[in-house]
Amino acid sequence: MRIIALPVLLAVGCALSLGACVCSMSSTAHCFGRTDLERTVEHLLQQEGDMEIVAVDCPSPLQIEAHALTRCILQRGDGTVIGATVVVTEATGDRGRIDVTVDAEQPS
């Protein structure tokens, strides 16, 4: 499953400046904070509607820089856990677009 979306849009349709925090990696780098990133990933996956996501855990902020990536853990409604890769596909200042790719499910 591949989802491309602007992470500054929420379900209520309001724009959210994703609290472009200053990452510790560089004093001038902007990043998506963990909480905003988790909410955005959850929202995007719920919009897709293929699976019920009840929780998202992204272990660190994501630097707003093209090709930056992080891994997140998704908890589904049936209690199973699956991983996802979040990649910044476009970056302009403190805004960016992300691509969320959910890991393929392993056959039982």
Tell me, yes or no, whether 107 lies in a domain.
no
CA angle 72, 81, 107 (to 5 degrees): 120
Tell me, yes or no, whether 28 lies in a domain.
yes
Report the domain count for the chain.
1
Element (H, E) at 46: helix 34-48
Residue 42, token pair as written in the block: 């959850």
Tell me, yes or no, whether 91 lies in a domain.
yes
Side by side, the strands of the sheet bearing 30-32 are 21-22, 30-32, 62-63
Tell me, yes or no, whether 12 lies in a domain.
yes
**Among 107, 105, 103, which Cα is nearest to 71's?**
103
The Cα–Cα gap between 58 and 103 comes to 15
pTM of the model: 0.72
| Residue whose structure tokens are 């988790």 | 38
Distance of CA 22 to the CA centre of its chain: 17
Query: Rounded mean pLDDT of 15-33?
Result: 56
DSSP three-state, residue 69 = strand
**pLDDT interval class at 48 (50, 70, 90):** confident
Per-residue pLDDT of 60-98, as tens digits, reads: 999 999 999 999 999 999 999 999 999 999 999 889 999
Question: By residue range, what is the domain housing residue 13?
Answer: 2-102
Question: Are 36 and 18 a contacting pair, CB within 8 Å?
Answer: yes
Tell me, yes or no, whether 108 lies in a domain.
no
Tell me, yes or no, whether 96 lies in a domain.
yes
